[in-house]
Amino acid sequence: MKYLLCLLLVISFPSLAKETIVFGVHSTTAPLEWRDNGVDQGFHVELMNSIGHLLDRPIMVRRKTFQQLMTDMHDIHSPIDVVAVVSPINKRRELSQSDPIYATHAKAFTLQGEDYIDNWSDLAGKRVAVKTGAFVDVFLRDQPQDFTQVKVDLYETGFQKLITKEVDVVLAENFVARRLQPKYPSVRSASDALIFGAFTFVSHPKDAALLHEINDALRQLKISGEYDRLVNKWFGMGREKFDITSTHKKMLILSIVISIISAIGMLYTISVSRSLKFRSEALALELQQREMAEQKIRSLSHQFQAVLNGIPHGMTIFDKQMQCLWSNDNNQLLSHSKLHCVDGTPFDLATSVKSVITSKKSFIADMGYLAQYWQMQIHPITDEQAVVLLEENTEQQHLRQANDEASRLASLGELSAGIAHEINNPTGIIIHSIALFSEAMKDLQPAADYYQQQNPFWLVAGLDPQAAFAEISHSTEVVEESAKRISRIVNDLKRYALPNLASNHQAIGLNEVVQVAQRLTANQLKRYQVRIELAEPSPKINGDAQQLHQVMINLIQNACHATPPGDGVILIKTFSTDTAAGISVQDNGSGMDKATLKRITEPFFTTRRSHGGSGLGLSVCSRILKEHHGHMKVTSTVNEGSCFSLTFSLLVQEGLDASPMTDSNRQEHTNNDSKELNP
């Protein structure tokens, strides 16, 4: 019976008696060449079967590793006739090659977060994994590059070395990398194509005639359209795919044919073929169900990963051995040496994580990194794992500091009012006493003159009486001036701490405010070129004249301090629009830089501390402007001058129309630095 079966097979399939082509393959995944349930399939396998059909020769698939196949191709006694490999474009291997079958390419792959690689020069100095014998390796033999090659047996070995940071870059072929990337989510494509290649059939030179026949058959398949059909089947959808159903149908047809042939003498084969059919259908149904389940799991996994990756804060899971189990790639700061606690103490991530896992208690602390602030949270999630959350809170820290600063300034204002009251009492006594001394010296002068006539050698404090009285008079003036200066500083402090006095406001003219301030500062202004431009009629606002006098006096004095006498020009003018009125004070003095401009209204900030400045003038002005619902715009350029412009709401009275300034009164100001203050 056994001999009868063999005879029937030889009669039915005469091709089995012909010389068989042994096709060596090494890949185990779609779409190129792979095996499922013992059935070899894929683009290369099906293409070689089509070539065998044209050559009327059977094809036998033999599976070996890539390195074994390359060794066989160089062995004249090898049982392998043909293999499919990739060769770089414009470079042929030492072995015999067919026409190109299908194009591919290789590019660089790195860990997430690494720099993009634009060309070969970006690989200089790096450790690059290259698969031994692959087309990338063949290309680099004649194209030496300025990097260190790390030879690996498989591309997957290169990816594993990349994860453990034994290499910096992997140069991998496109089809294999697409298959491996889902298994290694932390690896990403980091370049465009660096090497272009093409799949070809390769054989030992002794099989040159066979390869010539394969080339002729390959060209016929391309002309007939069969090659395009295979390409569209395996690559047309742009993804890896396979068709087990068609394979099972072919197996079923073959089983039926064999069953019919052997039915003459073997009824047993019928039951075997039926069993095979039922088993195939069951496998197809099971495979379909598994594919649906895997698709749902992948979809849920991708959604969960997308949600976690979308979180803007760093999230990392560690085990007790400080191995990173998962991260959304926002954890680079955790291992930075400059990350520290806000109190200045160093931070040790490993110690903190192990303490949280051991104690089962969460750890929350504020951290600092350069000029940024972060909140660190470590929570236990299992007996051996903890999740680390890192959230930036620089803005919250700045707001907290600003609130603390405002509280200190408020306390300083309350304290300054009490200090001012205590200082005013002795200052008043000094001023009153000095006035008494001045009057007494005037009355004593005639008596001193008469006594000197009687006693020419009389001395006062070791000085001639006239010189002594002049020195006493000068000292009295100095003491009185110093006491008044103390009084002015105290009044500034009191003004800074005073509550809102808007209830005392009334209609006032800005021209009168300027004229009063000019008269009060006439002694200082006489050393400068002063120009006054007043809008007519005088713009009216609702306010306190005395407070506005104080603001104008302060701005005029500041302009005098910043402007050199003689060549200094100070322009003071009033202006109005349909809804607003204002005053501007402009000088051509030393100006201010950006850093000074930002702080001019801070209490006690002054650039004239050595000349007796208290730093309260513009602070008080800012408070007064706030009470008058006005605002101040400051423009300044170093070594060119400054311009202070005060703007208020215009008060329009019946029968009085405040007209805007004419073109002749307007003056353009060009400044590099400016600050607009809304008290």
Mean pLDDT by 10 residues, the chain (679 residues): 40 52 82 79 87 89 85 86 85 79 89 88 90 84 85 90 92 85 89 88 87 89 89 66 49 80 81 85 89 87 71 78 74 70 77 85 81 81 82 74 62 64 76 78 77 76 76 79 72 56 74 85 84 90 85 87 85 91 91 82 69 68 84 88 90 49 36 45
Query: What would the two tokens of residue 556 be?
Result: 């005029």
Measure the CA–CA gap between 211 and 391, rounded to whole angstroms.
Answer: 64
The whole-angstrom separation of Cα 6 and Cα 8 is 5
Task: Phi first, then psi: give them for residue 172, nearest 5 degrees.
Answer: -125, 150
Confirm if 83 and 73 have CB atoms less than 8 A apart: yes
> Is the CB of residue 462 less than 8 Å from the CB of residue 471?
no
Half-sphere exposure of 596 (CA within 13 A, CB side): 16
Q: What's the CA gap between 308 and 600, in Å, rounded? A: 47
Judge residue 271's burial from the number of C-beta atoms within 10 Å of its C-beta, 0-12 exposed, 13-18 middle, 19 or more buried. exposed
**pLDDT (0 to 100) of residue 469:** 76
If we measure between CA atoms, which residue out of 111, 158, 117, 116 comes closest to residue 134?
A: 158
Terminal CA-CA length for the chain: 111
Neighbour tally for 365: CB within 10 Å? 15
**What pLDDT was estimated at residue 312?**
65
Alpha-helical (H) ranges within 563-657 are: 594-599, 617-627
* Cis peptide leading into residue 182 (ω within 30°): no
pLDDT of residue 583: 93
How many CB atoms neighbour CB 479 within 10 A? 15
Tokens of 128: 């690059």
Residue that has been written with the tokens 């396998």 in this structure:
45
Q: Would you state the structure tokens that stand for residue 379, as one six-digit string?
A: 């929570």
Distance CA 552, CA 583 (A): 9
Which DSSP string do the residues of 181-243 spell out, in sequence order?
Answer: GGG-TTEEE-BS-SEEEEEEEEE-GGGHHHHHHHHHHHHHHHHHTHHHHHHHHHHTTSS----
Measured distance CA(385)–CA(294) in Å, rounded:
28
How far, CA to CA in Å, does 497 sit from each of 78, 409, 410? Answer: 101, 10, 9
* Helix 226-235 / helix 43-55 crossing angle, nearest 10 deg: 160
Helix and strand totals (H; E) in the chain: 18, 26
With 0-12 CB in 10 A as exposed, 13-18 as middle and 19+ as buried, what is 353?
A: buried
Topology (CATH level 3) of domain 2-242 = D-Maltodextrin-Binding Protein; domain 2 (3.40.190)
Cβ atoms 665, 573 nearer than 8 A: yes
Q: What is the pLDDT of residue 330?
A: 55
Q: How many CB atoms lie within 10 A of CB 613?
A: 16
Cα–Cα nearest to 88, from 190, 172, 196, 179 = 196
* Pairing of the two strands 385-392 and 314-319: antiparallel
Give the pLDDT confidence score for residue 474 in this predicted structure.
Answer: 78
Phi, psi of 59 (to 5 degrees): -115, 130
| Site of tokens 């215009």 | 650
**539 cis-preceded (ω within 30 degrees of 0):** no
How many whole angstroms from its chain centre is CA 534?
Answer: 53
Q: Which CATH architecture is the domain 502-677 placed in? A: 2-Layer Sandwich (3.30)
pLDDT, residue 613, reads 61
Q: Which one of 3.40.50.280, 3.30.450.20, 3.20.20.140, 1.25.10.10 gives the CATH number of domain 315-392?
A: 3.30.450.20
pLDDT value of position 643? 93
All residues at 6 or more sequence positions from 668 whose CB lies less than 8 Å from its CB, including other chains = none
CA distances from 625 to 17, 365, 551, 595 (A): 109, 43, 9, 23
Q: What six digits make up the tokens of 298?
A: 């992948």
b/e per residue, 404-424, with b = 16+ CB within 10 A? eeeeeeeebbeebeeebeebb
Q: How many Cβ atoms sit within 10 Å of the Cβ of residue 559?
A: 28
